[in-house]
Structure 1
Amino acid sequence: MTRICTICARGGSKGVKNKNLRQLLGKPLIAHSILQAKASGLFDVIAVSSDNDNILQIAEEHGVDYVIKRPKELATDTAAKLPVIQHCIEQVEQRSSLRFTTLVDIDATSPLRTVDDLRFAVLMFEKHDEATNLITATPSRRSPYFNLVEENKNGYVLLSKSLDTPLVRRQDAPKTYDMNASIYIWKREAFYDTPSVFTDKTILYVMPEERSHDIDSELDFEIVQFLAEKRGSLL
């Protein structure tokens, strides 16, 4: 079994300018994910993909095995992430002559995961023979069956999901989860046969809310910074 960890970090960001380079606990944001991947001891190769030379330089300084310069067409605001991961893996395989069986991607903007989260998620996935892929999430704060609403085409508000018997208590609702953009894992065959985040055999690794914040705004960064400083280390 051969594992790769990819970390895909675009230079441009509208919500938080240069967020992958922003300092968090005295290190650039992306450095924390690199150091977590290294500390896990799980990976044959750790690779960073970016269109930004400063990000790639930081990745090299923090000891990744490969830095992959992302082509412009994969670095736009509208570019999907799965083709970026695929490009990164293919470039590494060409340079290394390795063929990876377990593909792991961790998001630099969700740095509150722990090294044990990485280890447990990979172990959970590799013990599950039938699973095609794994995603991480946290129990949702709003339930689509109880207090998450949407507008219909007439502008009226209704619950996002309904049950035959209306609920009186949120605790009685089916369990739902918020994806936290932290860890994604695929079997190689599943990733290349049907590249998707969701299949009929996607499994879930659940993380607590305090390790599940993804940075997409200045407020998100402040929350992550507060929680990181409270922990004192992201390893």
Structure 2
Amino acid sequence: MSGNVVAVIPARGGSKGIPRKNVRALGDRPLVAHTIAKSKDAQLVDSVVLTTDSREIAQVGRKYGADEVIERPVELATDEVPLAPVMEHAYDALDGAFEYVLCLQPTVPLLSTDAIDRGIRIGFDAHSDSVVFVRDSTHQYWAVEDDSYTPVPDERKNRQYMDKIYEEIGVFLSHNSLIRDGRRVGDDPAFHEVPARQGIDIDTYADWLLAENYLRRKRVVYRVIGNGQAGTGHVYRGITIADHIFEHDVEFATVEGNDLAIENLDESNYDYRTFDSEDSFVEYVRSSSPDVVVNDVLDTSAEYVRALTDCGCRVVNFEDLGDGTEHADAVVNALYEYSDPPKNHYFGFKYFCLRNEFRYATPHEAIPDVERIMISFGGTDENNLTAKTLRALADVDIDLHLDVVIGLGYAQEETLRPIIEGYPAQIDVKISQNVNSMAEHMEQADLLITSNGRTLYEASSMNLPTISIAQNHREQKHPYAHVSRGILALGQADYVTEGNIRTAVEDCITDSDRREAMRAALEDTDIANGIDRIKNIIFEKDHEN
């Protein structure tokens, strides 16, 4: 089977389910124009013909590039007339002979040009006289037999274990001998399964709304890091953002060596790809043409970001202080603030991406006493501030429970045991690693001791008074710890003594007025809505609204 193909688009004016369906605007053009454009772009379609009984539809067809418009007789434009005689009439009226006819219903506007070509190629390769385009419709159905309902299939199974059932989507490739014989499908047709989304056949308003939704969908490739040094914050943020942009398609990417990222992506069930290098990731972006690339990988190079923007996609970077920021379309960094940020750079707590577990947790409304202190320095805890804090609290003379949460990259647990073994009986210490929910720990805590990273914002969303210590100079530059009245910032790790920590903790324990002032200050901070601002930045909308 090989030869020339004419695409025939049957579009009548008397639609009942959705009045004037073919000329209504779906997205930026009339419904019928989508099918005209897709068929004209198909490499294996030689000519595009519109057959219609409507002058308005004919005008749309000419405007959007149909090669020929055929006037359909009134008797072939009624509800009762099937498509076969319509296609036969159109073929007989063609200006020229074609070996194959591709019937393309305008009600399937999301069918891609590639799917059209692949369906034609399937027919060519199979030497079949017809190809039926279908989509998977496997579900549990009920058929009516003798005024009663019968399950189909008769044995109930989960969908993935059922025998496949396919539905036609209104697209057929037929040899001209079938068309002349008043048929569209031969006795032994080939079949072409298209993705369910592309096979949407618009018959109702619900179908129309679904198609509009898919037309607005963008494809986002989200690159993350996650390892012993960087921790899991980047991949958690990516998953949180993906949860909130369900109306778009998100695919994650990471480079080999980011085992923690891969582990968390596996658990999330989001699609992801692993690349052997940054260069191979750029090549993938170049070949797949996503709408947006998000880099949640810390500092980027100018060469890398330029290579992405050259692919024609929007580039959004998180927590990037590298040279690549000059070339990205947007840079988002909740941990830093500038009084006069560069254009398209968004800094500060307003742009923090709060994980779902904190959005659904219960913030503190009052903290009458400090009985439980949470200690969490996350990641690798490069200065072993966990041990320093435990030593500082070893001689605090009150009943306390210390909830110590160590990061996945923390490798100094053996230094903690001698300290804990010397604790007095009234202080209970529990060490946890790889906890299921940090929010649950914060819900139970009366005070938090942590570093100057994302945990500060999470604690703020919980109205949890916090003592912070910066692990390094980069963290010391995070201004939120210094400007928030709900956080007691002790400074950089090198200069914070055990005595400083003990004094700060004792002050928070004994001064209830100060503790309540810290809690109330955090209550006034808008952390939860940062995700909405981030969504708008990613898709180039007004982030302030």
Residues 173 and 184 in structure 2, CA contact (< 8 A), matched pair in contact too: no
Residues 8 and 103 in structure 2, CA contact (< 8 A), matched pair in contact too: yes
How much identity, in percent, do the aligned residues show?
25
User: Corresponding residue for 2:126?
Assistant: 128
Q: Does 1:110 align with 2:108?
A: yes
Distance 2:153 2:167 in 1: 15
Distance 1:138 1:41 in 2: 22
Distance 1:100 1:231 in 2: 37
User: Corresponding residue for 1:205?
Assistant: 192
Distance 1:206 1:31 in 2: 23
Q: Give the secondary-structure state (helix, strand or coil) at the position aligned to 1:15.
A: coil
Distance 1:168 1:37 in 2: 39
Deviation at 1:134, TM superposition (A): 0.7
User: Corresponding residue for 1:192?
Assistant: 180
Distance 2:45 2:157 in 1: 47
Deviation at 1:122, TM superposition (A): 0.8
Deviation at 1:112, TM superposition (A): 0.6
Distance 1:190 1:13 in 2: 27
1:55-111 deviation per Cα after TM superposition (whole angstroms, max 9, x unaligned) = 00111111211101110000011111111111111101xxx2x22111111111110
Q: Does 1:140 align with 2:137?
A: yes
- 5+ unaligned residues in a row in structure 1: which ranges? none
Distance 2:4 2:184 in 1: 21
User: Corresponding residue for 2:148?
Assistant: 156
TM-score (norm 1): 0.86
Change (3 A) 1:168 1:118: closer
Higher RCO (CA < 8 A, seq sep 6+): 1
Distance 2:205 2:160 in 1: 32
User: Corresponding residue for 1:54?
Assistant: 56
Change (3 A) 1:88 1:191: closer
The alignment's C-alpha RMSD in Å is 1.8
Deviation at 1:174, TM superposition (A): 2.3
Distance 1:195 1:91 in 2: 17
Distance 1:189 1:70 in 2: 21
Amino acid at match of 1:205: H
Deviation at 1:194, TM superposition (A): 5.9
Change (3 A) 1:48 1:61: same
Q: Give the secondary-structure state (helix, strand or coil) at the position aligned to 1:209.
A: coil
Distance 1:91 1:201 in 2: 28
Deviation at 1:24, TM superposition (A): 1.4
Distance 2:72 2:157 in 1: 51
Q: Does 1:229 align with 2:231?
A: no
Amino acid at match of 2:129: T
Q: Give the secondary-structure state (helix, strand or coil) at the position aligned to 1:35.
A: helix
Distance 1:178 1:194 in 2: 22
1:36-62 deviation per Cα after TM superposition (whole angstroms, max 9, x unaligned) = 111113233211000000100111111
User: Corresponding residue for 2:26?
Assistant: 24
Q: Give the secondary-structure state (helix, strand or coil) at the position aligned to 2:135.
A: strand
Distance 2:168 2:198 in 1: 12
Deviation at 1:161, TM superposition (A): 5.2
Change (3 A) 1:168 1:119: closer
Farther-moved stretch of structure 1 (34-43 vs 6-15): 34-43
Q: 1:63 aligns with which of 62, 65, 83?
A: 65
Amino acid at match of 2:180: Y
Amino acid at match of 1:224: A
User: Corresponding residue for 2:205?
Assistant: 218
1:159-203 deviation per Cα after TM superposition (whole angstroms, max 9, x unaligned) = 2455xxx4654444322112222x210112233246143x33111
- 5+ unaligned residues in a row in structure 2: which ranges? 220-545
Instruction: Tell me the number of residue pairs that the alignment of Structure 1 and Structure 2 aligns.
Output: 217
TM-score (norm 2): 0.38
1:8-51 deviation per Cα after TM superposition (whole angstroms, max 9, x unaligned) = 00101111010100101211111111111111132332110000
The correspondence of residues 161-176 of structure 1 with structure 2, limited to 5 A, is 166=155, 168-176=157-165
Q: Give the secondary-structure state (helix, strand or coil) at the position aligned to 1:174.
A: coil
Larger radius of gyration: 2
1:113-168 deviation per Cα after TM superposition (whole angstroms, max 9, x unaligned) = 10101111111111111x221111111141xxxx2111221x22212455xxx465
